Structure 1
Protein backbone atom coordinates (compact mmCIF):
# COMPACT_ATOMS: atom_id res chain seq x y z
CA UNK A 1 0.00 0.00 0.00
CA UNK A 2 1.33 3.46 -0.92
CA UNK A 3 2.16 5.83 1.92
CA UNK A 4 -0.35 8.46 0.75
CA UNK A 5 -3.07 5.78 0.64
CA UNK A 6 -2.47 5.31 4.35
CA UNK A 7 -3.49 8.92 4.89
CA UNK A 8 -6.85 8.15 3.27
CA UNK A 9 -7.20 5.18 5.62
CA UNK A 10 -6.46 7.46 8.55
CA UNK A 11 -9.03 10.01 7.40
CA UNK A 12 -11.66 7.26 7.28
CA UNK A 13 -10.62 6.20 10.77
CA UNK A 14 -11.05 9.74 12.11
CA UNK A 15 -14.50 9.89 10.49
CA UNK A 16 -15.41 6.67 12.32
CA UNK A 17 -14.47 8.39 15.60
CA UNK A 18 -17.16 11.01 14.82
CA UNK A 19 -14.75 13.92 15.04
CA UNK A 20 -15.74 17.29 13.63
CA UNK A 21 -14.98 17.74 9.91
CA UNK A 22 -12.78 20.74 10.70
CA UNK A 23 -10.75 18.71 13.21
CA UNK A 24 -10.24 15.91 10.67
CA UNK A 25 -9.19 18.35 7.95
CA UNK A 26 -6.74 20.06 10.31
CA UNK A 27 -5.17 16.72 11.28
CA UNK A 28 -4.74 15.63 7.67
CA UNK A 29 -3.35 19.04 6.72
CA UNK A 30 -0.74 18.91 9.51
CA UNK A 31 0.40 15.40 8.50
CA UNK A 32 0.65 16.42 4.84
CA UNK A 33 2.48 19.66 5.55
CA UNK A 34 4.83 18.57 8.34
CA UNK A 35 5.53 14.99 7.25
CA UNK A 36 4.77 14.16 3.62
CA UNK A 37 5.84 17.53 2.23
CA UNK A 38 9.17 17.09 4.02
CA UNK A 39 10.04 13.41 3.44
CA UNK A 40 7.12 11.98 1.39
CA UNK A 41 7.21 8.64 3.22
CA UNK A 42 6.22 6.85 6.42
CA UNK A 43 9.44 4.99 7.19
CA UNK A 44 11.64 7.93 8.15
CA UNK A 45 15.16 7.83 9.57
CA UNK A 46 16.17 9.33 12.90
CA UNK A 47 18.02 12.05 11.01
CA UNK A 48 14.84 12.92 9.03
CA UNK A 49 12.84 12.87 12.28
CA UNK A 50 15.25 15.36 13.90
CA UNK A 51 15.11 17.57 10.79
CA UNK A 52 11.29 17.66 10.97
CA UNK A 53 11.44 18.77 14.62
CA UNK A 54 14.15 21.33 13.85
CA UNK A 55 12.00 22.80 11.08
CA UNK A 56 9.03 23.07 13.44
CA UNK A 57 11.08 24.83 16.13
CA UNK A 58 12.16 27.48 13.64
CA UNK A 59 8.65 28.28 12.44
CA UNK A 60 6.17 27.45 15.20
CA UNK A 61 5.35 28.50 18.73
CA UNK A 62 5.89 25.90 21.45
CA UNK A 63 2.15 25.35 21.85
CA UNK A 64 1.59 24.88 18.10
CA UNK A 65 4.57 22.53 17.82
CA UNK A 66 3.23 20.52 20.76
CA UNK A 67 -0.10 20.14 18.94
CA UNK A 68 1.49 19.20 15.61
CA UNK A 69 3.82 16.61 17.14
CA UNK A 70 0.87 14.97 18.86
CA UNK A 71 -1.11 14.90 15.61
CA UNK A 72 1.72 13.05 13.84
CA UNK A 73 2.28 10.79 16.85
CA UNK A 74 -1.38 9.69 16.81
CA UNK A 75 -1.10 9.02 13.07
CA UNK A 76 1.83 6.66 13.66
CA UNK A 77 0.00 5.01 16.56
CA UNK A 78 -2.87 4.29 14.16
CA UNK A 79 -0.49 2.80 11.56
CA UNK A 80 1.16 0.56 14.13
CA UNK A 81 -2.09 -0.51 15.85
CA UNK A 82 -3.67 -1.50 12.52
CA UNK A 83 -0.50 -3.24 11.24
CA UNK A 84 0.08 -0.79 8.38
CA UNK A 85 3.58 -0.03 9.67
CA UNK A 86 5.92 -2.25 11.67
CA UNK A 87 8.54 0.37 12.42
CA UNK A 88 9.06 2.64 15.44
CA UNK A 89 6.96 5.67 16.30
CA UNK A 90 9.82 8.14 16.68
CA UNK A 91 7.41 10.95 17.55
CA UNK A 92 6.38 9.16 20.75
CA UNK A 93 9.74 10.18 22.25
CA UNK A 94 9.51 13.86 21.27
CA UNK A 95 9.65 16.24 24.22
CA UNK A 96 7.99 19.58 23.58
CA UNK A 97 7.38 21.83 26.57
CA UNK A 98 4.37 24.11 26.42
CA UNK A 99 3.89 27.39 28.21
CA UNK A 100 1.98 27.05 31.48
CA UNK A 101 1.08 30.75 31.41
CA UNK A 102 -0.92 30.60 28.20
CA UNK A 103 -3.28 33.55 27.94
CA UNK A 104 -6.91 32.61 28.33
CA UNK A 105 -9.67 34.97 27.22
CA UNK A 106 -12.46 35.23 29.79
CA UNK A 107 -15.40 37.62 30.00
CA UNK A 108 -16.33 39.20 33.32
CA UNK A 109 -19.77 38.23 34.62
CA UNK A 110 -20.82 41.85 34.19
CA UNK A 111 -19.72 41.73 30.55
CA UNK A 112 -21.84 38.62 30.02
CA UNK A 113 -24.86 40.31 31.63
CA UNK A 114 -24.35 43.42 29.49
CA UNK A 115 -24.33 41.25 26.35
CA UNK A 116 -27.61 39.66 27.38
CA UNK A 117 -29.04 43.16 27.85
CA UNK A 118 -28.01 43.98 24.27
CA UNK A 119 -29.83 40.84 23.16
CA UNK A 120 -33.01 42.05 24.86
CA UNK A 121 -32.84 45.37 23.02
CA UNK A 122 -33.46 43.33 19.87
CA UNK A 123 -31.90 45.65 17.29
CA UNK A 124 -28.24 44.60 16.95
CA UNK A 125 -28.07 40.80 16.95
CA UNK A 126 -30.12 38.03 15.35
CA UNK A 127 -32.09 35.46 17.32
CA UNK A 128 -29.84 32.69 16.01
CA UNK A 129 -26.68 34.50 17.15
CA UNK A 130 -28.20 34.95 20.60
CA UNK A 131 -29.16 31.28 20.79
CA UNK A 132 -25.66 30.08 19.82
CA UNK A 133 -24.07 32.43 22.36
CA UNK A 134 -26.48 31.34 25.11
CA UNK A 135 -25.99 27.65 24.32
CA UNK A 136 -22.19 27.80 24.44
CA UNK A 137 -22.07 29.90 27.62
CA UNK A 138 -24.78 27.90 29.41
CA UNK A 139 -23.24 24.49 28.70
CA UNK A 140 -19.49 25.14 28.36
CA UNK A 141 -19.21 22.61 25.53
CA UNK A 142 -16.60 22.72 22.80
CA UNK A 143 -17.40 24.06 19.33
CA UNK A 144 -16.75 20.67 17.71
CA UNK A 145 -19.07 19.01 20.23
CA UNK A 146 -21.83 21.48 19.41
CA UNK A 147 -21.41 20.89 15.68
CA UNK A 148 -21.78 17.12 16.16
CA UNK A 149 -24.86 17.22 18.40
CA UNK A 150 -27.93 15.30 17.25
CA UNK A 151 -31.52 15.70 18.36
CA UNK A 152 -31.44 12.28 20.01
CA UNK A 153 -28.56 13.43 22.26
CA UNK A 154 -31.08 15.51 24.23
CA UNK A 155 -33.36 14.51 27.07
CA UNK A 156 -35.59 17.58 26.89
CA UNK A 157 -37.73 16.52 29.84
CA UNK A 158 -34.73 16.34 32.20
CA UNK A 159 -32.77 19.15 30.45
CA UNK A 160 -29.81 16.85 29.89
CA UNK A 161 -27.45 16.49 26.92
CA UNK A 162 -25.31 13.43 26.18
CA UNK A 163 -22.05 14.63 24.64
CA UNK A 164 -19.24 12.72 22.93
CA UNK A 165 -16.06 14.68 23.53
CA UNK A 166 -12.35 14.29 22.90
CA UNK A 167 -11.12 10.72 22.70
CA UNK A 168 -14.70 9.56 22.08
CA UNK A 169 -15.44 10.02 25.81
CA UNK A 170 -19.08 10.46 26.75
CA UNK A 171 -20.34 12.83 29.42
CA UNK A 172 -23.60 14.37 30.58
CA UNK A 173 -24.23 18.12 30.60
CA UNK A 174 -27.25 19.70 32.26
CA UNK A 175 -28.64 23.00 30.97
CA UNK A 176 -30.71 25.62 32.77
CA UNK A 177 -34.30 26.72 32.46
CA UNK A 178 -33.51 29.96 30.64
CA UNK A 179 -31.68 28.05 27.88
CA UNK A 180 -34.64 25.68 27.67
CA UNK A 181 -36.89 28.61 26.82
CA UNK A 182 -34.73 29.81 23.91
CA UNK A 183 -34.12 26.23 22.79
CA UNK A 184 -37.83 25.54 22.42
CA UNK A 185 -38.12 28.59 20.15
CA UNK A 186 -35.15 27.34 18.13
CA UNK A 187 -36.59 23.82 17.78
CA UNK A 188 -39.87 25.19 16.43
CA UNK A 189 -37.99 27.25 13.84
CA UNK A 190 -35.77 24.26 13.02
CA UNK A 191 -38.79 22.04 12.37
CA UNK A 192 -40.34 24.61 10.03
CA UNK A 193 -37.08 25.14 8.10
CA UNK A 194 -36.49 21.39 7.75
CA UNK A 195 -40.01 20.93 6.41
CA UNK A 196 -39.67 23.84 3.98
CA UNK A 197 -36.39 22.52 2.55
CA UNK A 198 -37.60 18.90 2.67
CA UNK A 199 -34.66 17.78 4.76
CA UNK A 200 -34.60 14.74 7.00
CA UNK A 201 -31.52 14.48 9.24
CA UNK A 202 -30.94 14.50 12.99
CA UNK A 203 -28.24 17.17 13.32
CA UNK A 204 -29.23 19.63 16.04
CA UNK A 205 -27.85 22.79 14.44
CA UNK A 206 -28.99 23.65 10.92
CA UNK A 207 -28.38 26.41 8.42
CA UNK A 208 -31.69 28.27 8.13
CA UNK A 209 -30.94 29.10 4.49
CA UNK A 210 -30.57 25.49 3.38
CA UNK A 211 -31.75 23.18 6.14
CA UNK A 212 -28.34 21.47 6.06
CA UNK A 213 -26.10 20.86 9.06
CA UNK A 214 -24.57 24.07 10.39
CA UNK A 215 -20.76 23.90 10.22
CA UNK A 216 -18.52 24.99 13.07
CA UNK A 217 -16.95 27.75 10.93
CA UNK A 218 -20.35 29.43 10.68
CA UNK A 219 -20.93 29.16 14.43
CA UNK A 220 -17.49 30.69 15.03
CA UNK A 221 -18.32 33.52 12.64
CA UNK A 222 -21.63 34.32 14.35
CA UNK A 223 -19.99 34.45 17.79
CA UNK A 224 -17.21 36.76 16.56
CA UNK A 225 -19.89 39.04 15.06
CA UNK A 226 -21.38 39.41 18.54
CA UNK A 227 -17.91 40.33 19.76
CA UNK A 228 -17.66 43.04 17.11
CA UNK A 229 -21.00 44.47 18.23
CA UNK A 230 -19.93 44.69 21.90
CA UNK A 231 -16.36 45.77 20.99
CA UNK A 232 -14.82 42.69 22.60
CA UNK A 233 -12.84 39.85 21.05
CA UNK A 234 -15.06 36.81 21.55
CA UNK A 235 -14.87 33.31 20.09
CA UNK A 236 -16.62 30.05 21.13
CA UNK A 237 -13.79 28.96 23.44
CA UNK A 238 -14.03 32.32 25.24
CA UNK A 239 -17.52 31.28 26.32
CA UNK A 240 -16.27 27.85 27.47
CA UNK A 241 -13.52 29.51 29.55
CA UNK A 242 -16.04 32.02 30.94
CA UNK A 243 -18.48 29.22 31.84
CA UNK A 244 -15.80 27.38 33.84
CA UNK A 245 -14.37 30.49 35.52
CA UNK A 246 -17.78 31.82 36.58
CA UNK A 247 -18.80 28.40 37.94
CA UNK A 248 -15.61 28.33 40.01
CA UNK A 249 -16.07 31.92 41.22
CA UNK A 250 -19.59 31.07 42.39
CA UNK A 251 -18.40 28.16 44.52
CA UNK A 252 -18.66 25.13 42.23
CA UNK A 253 -16.34 22.23 43.09
CA UNK A 254 -13.37 21.93 40.72
CA UNK A 255 -13.97 18.21 40.11
CA UNK A 256 -17.56 18.86 39.06
CA UNK A 257 -16.32 21.50 36.60
CA UNK A 258 -13.83 18.90 35.32
CA UNK A 259 -16.73 16.52 34.69
CA UNK A 260 -18.82 19.18 32.93
CA UNK A 261 -15.94 20.22 30.67
CA UNK A 262 -14.96 16.65 29.85
CA UNK A 263 -11.35 16.99 31.04
CA UNK A 264 -9.63 13.63 31.57
CA UNK A 265 -7.53 15.03 34.42
CA UNK A 266 -8.34 17.57 37.11
CA UNK A 267 -4.89 19.09 36.54
CA UNK A 268 -6.18 20.41 33.20
CA UNK A 269 -9.12 22.05 34.97
CA UNK A 270 -6.88 23.60 37.62
CA UNK A 271 -5.77 26.25 35.13
CA UNK A 272 -9.10 27.95 35.91
CA UNK A 273 -8.00 28.56 39.50
CA UNK A 274 -5.14 30.65 38.07
CA UNK A 275 -7.52 32.36 35.67
CA UNK A 276 -9.88 33.07 38.58
CA UNK A 277 -7.06 34.69 40.58
CA UNK A 278 -5.90 36.76 37.60
CA UNK A 279 -9.51 37.73 36.96
CA UNK A 280 -9.88 39.04 40.52
CA UNK A 281 -6.61 40.95 40.25
CA UNK A 282 -7.79 42.57 37.02
CA UNK A 283 -11.13 43.43 38.63
CA UNK A 284 -9.37 45.30 41.43
CA UNK A 285 -7.13 47.12 38.96
CA UNK A 286 -10.13 48.05 36.87
CA UNK A 287 -12.61 49.14 39.53
CA UNK A 288 -10.82 49.96 42.80
CA UNK A 289 -10.09 53.71 43.27
CA UNK A 290 -6.62 53.00 44.79
CA UNK A 291 -4.88 50.96 42.10
Structure 2
Protein backbone atom coordinates (compact mmCIF):
# COMPACT_ATOMS: atom_id res chain seq x y z
CA UNK A 1 0.00 0.00 0.00
CA UNK A 2 1.32 3.46 -0.97
CA UNK A 3 1.12 6.47 1.34
CA UNK A 4 -1.25 8.42 -0.88
CA UNK A 5 -3.69 5.50 -1.06
CA UNK A 6 -3.52 4.97 2.71
CA UNK A 7 -4.27 8.65 3.32
CA UNK A 8 -7.16 8.65 0.82
CA UNK A 9 -8.69 5.55 2.43
CA UNK A 10 -8.26 7.08 5.89
CA UNK A 11 -10.05 10.26 4.82
CA UNK A 12 -12.93 8.18 3.44
CA UNK A 13 -13.09 6.36 6.78
CA UNK A 14 -13.21 9.63 8.72
CA UNK A 15 -15.98 10.99 6.51
CA UNK A 16 -18.17 7.88 6.21
CA UNK A 17 -17.54 5.92 9.40
CA UNK A 18 -16.74 8.76 11.80
CA UNK A 19 -19.00 11.35 10.17
CA UNK A 20 -16.43 14.13 10.54
CA UNK A 21 -16.72 17.48 8.81
CA UNK A 22 -14.45 18.56 5.96
CA UNK A 23 -12.46 20.84 8.28
CA UNK A 24 -11.94 18.07 10.85
CA UNK A 25 -10.79 15.63 8.17
CA UNK A 26 -8.26 18.14 6.87
CA UNK A 27 -6.95 18.67 10.40
CA UNK A 28 -6.57 14.91 10.87
CA UNK A 29 -4.77 14.63 7.52
CA UNK A 30 -2.37 17.52 8.02
CA UNK A 31 0.21 15.70 10.15
CA UNK A 32 0.09 12.58 7.99
CA UNK A 33 0.91 14.74 4.96
CA UNK A 34 3.88 16.14 6.88
CA UNK A 35 5.08 12.60 7.59
CA UNK A 36 4.74 11.69 3.90
CA UNK A 37 6.72 14.81 2.92
CA UNK A 38 9.45 13.91 5.43
CA UNK A 39 9.75 10.39 4.01
CA UNK A 40 9.89 11.65 0.42
CA UNK A 41 12.37 14.42 1.25
CA UNK A 42 14.72 11.97 2.98
CA UNK A 43 14.24 9.30 0.29
CA UNK A 44 13.19 6.74 2.88
CA UNK A 45 11.96 3.57 1.19
CA UNK A 46 9.18 2.62 3.56
CA UNK A 47 5.43 2.08 3.22
CA UNK A 48 2.76 2.84 5.85
CA UNK A 49 2.52 -0.90 6.46
CA UNK A 50 6.13 -1.44 7.45
CA UNK A 51 7.25 1.94 8.86
CA UNK A 52 8.76 1.43 12.32
CA UNK A 53 8.96 3.35 15.57
CA UNK A 54 12.51 4.52 14.90
CA UNK A 55 11.54 6.30 11.66
CA UNK A 56 8.48 7.88 13.22
CA UNK A 57 10.57 9.07 16.19
CA UNK A 58 13.07 10.70 13.84
CA UNK A 59 10.23 12.48 12.04
CA UNK A 60 8.65 13.72 15.28
CA UNK A 61 12.02 14.96 16.52
CA UNK A 62 12.68 16.81 13.26
CA UNK A 63 9.38 18.73 13.29
CA UNK A 64 8.96 19.16 17.06
CA UNK A 65 11.82 21.63 17.38
CA UNK A 66 9.48 24.41 16.27
CA UNK A 67 6.36 23.15 18.07
CA UNK A 68 5.10 23.85 21.56
CA UNK A 69 4.15 20.89 23.80
CA UNK A 70 0.47 21.13 22.93
CA UNK A 71 1.17 20.99 19.18
CA UNK A 72 3.57 18.09 19.71
CA UNK A 73 0.86 16.19 21.57
CA UNK A 74 -1.62 16.85 18.77
CA UNK A 75 0.91 15.62 16.19
CA UNK A 76 1.50 12.37 18.07
CA UNK A 77 -2.21 11.84 18.66
CA UNK A 78 -3.04 12.39 14.98
CA UNK A 79 -0.42 9.91 13.81
CA UNK A 80 -1.49 7.37 16.42
CA UNK A 81 -5.09 7.55 15.16
CA UNK A 82 -3.92 7.00 11.58
CA UNK A 83 -1.97 3.87 12.42
CA UNK A 84 -4.82 2.61 14.62
CA UNK A 85 -6.96 2.81 11.48
CA UNK A 86 -4.42 0.71 9.55
CA UNK A 87 -4.54 -1.89 12.33
CA UNK A 88 -8.34 -1.80 12.23
CA UNK A 89 -8.19 -2.54 8.48
CA UNK A 90 -5.69 -5.39 9.08
CA UNK A 91 -2.87 -3.67 7.20
CA UNK A 92 -0.70 -3.67 10.33
CA UNK A 93 -0.58 -5.52 13.63
CA UNK A 94 1.21 -2.88 15.73
CA UNK A 95 1.18 0.90 16.09
CA UNK A 96 4.63 2.56 15.80
CA UNK A 97 3.38 5.29 18.16
CA UNK A 98 2.70 2.86 21.04
CA UNK A 99 6.13 3.45 22.60
CA UNK A 100 6.18 7.19 21.95
CA UNK A 101 4.95 9.32 24.85
CA UNK A 102 3.19 12.62 24.38
CA UNK A 103 4.61 15.63 26.27
CA UNK A 104 2.79 16.54 29.45
CA UNK A 105 0.69 19.63 28.98
CA UNK A 106 -1.45 21.59 31.32
CA UNK A 107 -5.12 22.03 30.65
CA UNK A 108 -5.54 25.21 28.65
CA UNK A 109 -8.27 27.46 29.96
CA UNK A 110 -10.22 29.41 27.34
CA UNK A 111 -9.95 33.18 27.11
CA UNK A 112 -13.17 34.97 27.99
CA UNK A 113 -14.66 38.42 27.64
CA UNK A 114 -16.58 40.28 30.30
CA UNK A 115 -20.12 41.42 29.57
CA UNK A 116 -18.86 45.01 29.34
CA UNK A 117 -16.15 43.89 26.86
CA UNK A 118 -18.81 42.38 24.62
CA UNK A 119 -21.04 45.45 24.94
CA UNK A 120 -18.14 47.70 23.95
CA UNK A 121 -17.27 45.54 20.94
CA UNK A 122 -20.86 45.65 19.70
CA UNK A 123 -21.13 49.40 20.31
CA UNK A 124 -17.96 49.88 18.23
CA UNK A 125 -19.65 48.47 15.12
CA UNK A 126 -20.36 51.21 12.59
CA UNK A 127 -23.98 50.54 11.70
CA UNK A 128 -23.77 53.02 8.82
CA UNK A 129 -20.98 51.09 7.11
CA UNK A 130 -22.00 50.30 3.54
CA UNK A 131 -20.04 48.64 0.76
CA UNK A 132 -21.38 48.43 -2.79
CA UNK A 133 -24.77 49.46 -1.45
CA UNK A 134 -24.92 46.73 1.22
CA UNK A 135 -25.11 47.68 4.91
CA UNK A 136 -22.36 45.51 6.34
CA UNK A 137 -22.54 47.22 9.73
CA UNK A 138 -25.94 45.72 10.48
CA UNK A 139 -24.69 42.34 9.24
CA UNK A 140 -21.63 42.48 11.50
CA UNK A 141 -23.72 43.36 14.54
CA UNK A 142 -25.98 40.38 13.87
CA UNK A 143 -22.91 38.14 13.45
CA UNK A 144 -21.30 39.11 16.76
CA UNK A 145 -24.63 38.91 18.60
CA UNK A 146 -25.27 35.42 17.20
CA UNK A 147 -21.77 34.16 18.03
CA UNK A 148 -22.11 35.29 21.63
CA UNK A 149 -25.82 34.80 22.32
CA UNK A 150 -25.98 31.29 20.81
CA UNK A 151 -22.43 30.09 21.48
CA UNK A 152 -21.81 29.04 17.88
CA UNK A 153 -18.60 27.83 16.28
CA UNK A 154 -17.46 29.89 13.28
CA UNK A 155 -18.22 26.99 10.92
CA UNK A 156 -21.75 26.77 12.36
CA UNK A 157 -22.32 30.50 11.92
CA UNK A 158 -21.31 30.68 8.26
CA UNK A 159 -23.44 27.61 7.46
CA UNK A 160 -26.52 28.90 9.31
CA UNK A 161 -29.57 28.79 7.03
CA UNK A 162 -32.73 30.88 6.95
CA UNK A 163 -34.68 27.61 7.05
CA UNK A 164 -32.91 26.87 10.37
CA UNK A 165 -34.44 29.91 12.08
CA UNK A 166 -37.46 29.07 14.23
CA UNK A 167 -37.97 32.45 15.85
CA UNK A 168 -41.58 31.87 16.88
CA UNK A 169 -40.43 28.89 18.93
CA UNK A 170 -37.33 30.77 20.13
CA UNK A 171 -34.77 28.34 18.66
CA UNK A 172 -32.34 27.95 15.79
CA UNK A 173 -31.21 24.63 14.33
CA UNK A 174 -27.44 24.34 14.27
CA UNK A 175 -25.41 21.82 12.27
CA UNK A 176 -22.22 21.09 14.18
CA UNK A 177 -19.26 18.74 13.94
CA UNK A 178 -19.94 15.52 12.10
CA UNK A 179 -23.15 17.07 10.70
CA UNK A 180 -24.81 16.55 14.09
CA UNK A 181 -27.77 18.86 14.58
CA UNK A 182 -29.00 20.53 17.74
CA UNK A 183 -31.52 23.21 18.68
CA UNK A 184 -30.17 26.26 20.48
CA UNK A 185 -32.31 28.92 22.19
CA UNK A 186 -32.09 32.40 20.70
CA UNK A 187 -33.07 35.58 22.52
CA UNK A 188 -35.33 38.36 21.26
CA UNK A 189 -32.50 40.87 20.90
CA UNK A 190 -30.51 38.55 18.65
CA UNK A 191 -33.65 37.73 16.67
CA UNK A 192 -34.24 41.45 16.15
CA UNK A 193 -30.72 42.07 14.80
CA UNK A 194 -30.90 39.05 12.50
CA UNK A 195 -34.26 40.21 11.16
CA UNK A 196 -32.81 43.67 10.47
CA UNK A 197 -30.02 42.04 8.48
CA UNK A 198 -32.39 39.71 6.62
CA UNK A 199 -34.44 42.73 5.50
CA UNK A 200 -31.22 44.15 4.01
CA UNK A 201 -30.23 40.75 2.64
CA UNK A 202 -33.50 40.55 0.71
CA UNK A 203 -32.27 43.34 -1.56
CA UNK A 204 -28.97 41.59 -2.43
CA UNK A 205 -28.52 39.60 -5.61
CA UNK A 206 -27.84 36.28 -3.85
CA UNK A 207 -25.69 33.67 -5.58
CA UNK A 208 -27.55 30.41 -6.41
CA UNK A 209 -25.63 28.23 -3.95
CA UNK A 210 -26.23 30.69 -1.09
CA UNK A 211 -30.00 31.21 -1.41
CA UNK A 212 -30.69 29.79 2.06
CA UNK A 213 -27.57 31.09 3.85
CA UNK A 214 -28.21 33.79 6.48
CA UNK A 215 -24.94 35.75 6.49
CA UNK A 216 -23.58 36.80 3.09
CA UNK A 217 -20.83 38.99 1.70
CA UNK A 218 -21.64 42.02 -0.43
CA UNK A 219 -21.50 39.85 -3.55
CA UNK A 220 -24.29 37.62 -2.27
CA UNK A 221 -22.05 34.66 -1.48
CA UNK A 222 -21.36 32.74 1.71
CA UNK A 223 -18.85 34.25 4.12
CA UNK A 224 -15.52 32.56 4.78
CA UNK A 225 -14.08 31.68 8.19
CA UNK A 226 -11.28 34.17 7.51
CA UNK A 227 -13.81 36.99 7.09
CA UNK A 228 -15.31 36.34 10.53
CA UNK A 229 -11.81 36.46 12.04
CA UNK A 230 -11.16 39.75 10.21
CA UNK A 231 -14.38 41.32 11.50
CA UNK A 232 -13.47 40.31 15.06
CA UNK A 233 -9.88 41.53 14.78
CA UNK A 234 -10.95 44.94 13.46
CA UNK A 235 -13.41 45.40 16.32
CA UNK A 236 -10.81 44.47 18.93
CA UNK A 237 -8.34 46.94 17.43
CA UNK A 238 -10.99 49.65 17.27
CA UNK A 239 -11.90 49.30 20.96
CA UNK A 240 -8.28 48.95 22.10
CA UNK A 241 -9.12 45.76 23.96
CA UNK A 242 -5.90 44.16 25.26
CA UNK A 243 -7.02 40.55 25.11
CA UNK A 244 -6.37 37.69 22.72
CA UNK A 245 -9.78 37.60 21.05
CA UNK A 246 -10.97 35.35 18.21
CA UNK A 247 -14.51 34.48 17.10
CA UNK A 248 -14.27 31.39 19.34
CA UNK A 249 -13.81 33.68 22.35
CA UNK A 250 -17.50 34.62 22.10
CA UNK A 251 -18.40 30.93 22.38
CA UNK A 252 -16.21 30.54 25.45
CA UNK A 253 -17.74 33.67 26.96
CA UNK A 254 -21.26 32.39 26.25
CA UNK A 255 -20.57 29.20 28.23
CA UNK A 256 -18.70 30.94 31.05
CA UNK A 257 -21.40 33.56 31.60
CA UNK A 258 -24.10 30.88 31.68
CA UNK A 259 -22.15 28.91 34.28
CA UNK A 260 -21.46 32.00 36.37
CA UNK A 261 -25.18 32.74 36.45
CA UNK A 262 -26.12 29.27 37.65
CA UNK A 263 -26.82 27.33 34.45
CA UNK A 264 -26.61 23.55 34.61
CA UNK A 265 -23.45 22.10 33.06
CA UNK A 266 -25.46 19.47 31.17
CA UNK A 267 -27.63 22.21 29.60
CA UNK A 268 -24.50 24.11 28.54
CA UNK A 269 -23.12 20.90 27.00
CA UNK A 270 -26.27 20.48 24.91
CA UNK A 271 -26.24 24.10 23.72
CA UNK A 272 -22.55 23.95 22.79
CA UNK A 273 -22.95 20.62 21.01
CA UNK A 274 -20.17 18.92 22.98
CA UNK A 275 -20.26 15.16 22.52
CA UNK A 276 -18.67 14.58 25.94
CA UNK A 277 -19.43 16.38 29.20
CA UNK A 278 -15.69 16.36 29.96
CA UNK A 279 -15.19 18.90 27.16
CA UNK A 280 -17.69 21.22 28.79
CA UNK A 281 -16.17 20.74 32.23
CA UNK A 282 -13.24 22.97 31.29
CA UNK A 283 -15.52 25.91 32.08
CA UNK A 284 -15.66 24.76 35.69
CA UNK A 285 -12.04 25.92 35.95
CA UNK A 286 -12.51 29.37 34.47
CA UNK A 287 -13.99 31.22 37.45
CA UNK A 288 -13.08 29.64 40.76
CA UNK A 289 -14.62 32.55 42.68
CA UNK A 290 -17.98 31.50 41.24
CA UNK A 291 -17.49 27.99 42.65
CA UNK A 292 -16.60 29.47 46.05
CA UNK A 293 -19.79 31.53 45.99
CA UNK A 294 -21.84 28.39 45.32
CA UNK A 295 -20.15 26.59 48.23
CA UNK A 296 -20.77 29.49 50.60
CA UNK A 297 -24.39 29.77 49.52
CA UNK A 298 -25.45 26.14 49.54
CA UNK A 299 -23.17 24.14 51.85
CA UNK A 300 -24.53 23.73 55.39
CA UNK A 301 -21.08 23.91 57.04
CA UNK A 302 -19.96 27.28 55.65
Q: TM-score, normalised by structure 2?
A: 0.76
What root-mean-square deviation, in Å, do the aligned CA atoms of Structure 1 and Structure 2 show?
Answer: 3.1
The aligned runs of 1:31-110 (5 Å cut-off) are 31-33=32-34, 35-40=35-40, 41-43=47-49, 44-81=51-88, 83=89, 85-91=91-97, 94-110=100-116
User: How many angstroms apart in 2 are the aligned matches of 1:203 and 1:89?
Assistant: 45
**Runs of 5+ unmatched residues, structure 1:** 282-291
Tell me the alpha carbon deviations over residues 2-55 of structure 1, each in whole angstroms, 9 at most, x when there is no partner.
32134344445656646254x44444333212x112225423112112223333
**Residue correspondences, number:** 275
User: How many angstroms apart in 2 are the aligned matches of 1:216 and 1:202?
Assistant: 19
Moved over 6 A (4+): 278-281
1:277 aligns to what? Answer: 288
Tell me the alpha carbon deviations over residues 139-194 of structure 1, each in whole angstroms, 9 at most, x when there is no partner.
1121122233333333333232333333444332111111111111222333332x
User: How many angstroms apart in 2 are the aligned matches of 1:260 and 1:94?
Assistant: 37
- CA, structure 1 residues 175+9, in 2 after alignment: closer, same or farther (shift >3 Å)? same
Name the one with the larger helix percent. Answer: 1
Residues 164 and 174 in structure 2, CA contact (< 8 A), matched pair in contact too: yes
Give the superposition deviation at 1:279: 8.8
**Runs of 5+ unmatched residues, structure 2:** 41-46, 130-135, 293-302
SS of residue in 1 equivalent to 2:38? coil
- CA, structure 1 residues 80+132, in 2 after alignment: closer, same or farther (shift >3 Å)? farther
Q: Is 153-162 or 221-230 further displaced after alignment?
A: 153-162
1:226 aligns to what? Answer: 235
1:166 aligns to what? Answer: 177
User: How many angstroms apart in 2 are the aligned matches of 1:80 and 1:150?
Assistant: 40
- CA, structure 1 residues 26+221, in 2 after alignment: closer, same or farther (shift >3 Å)? farther
User: How many angstroms apart in 2 are the aligned matches of 1:272 and 1:63?
Assistant: 19
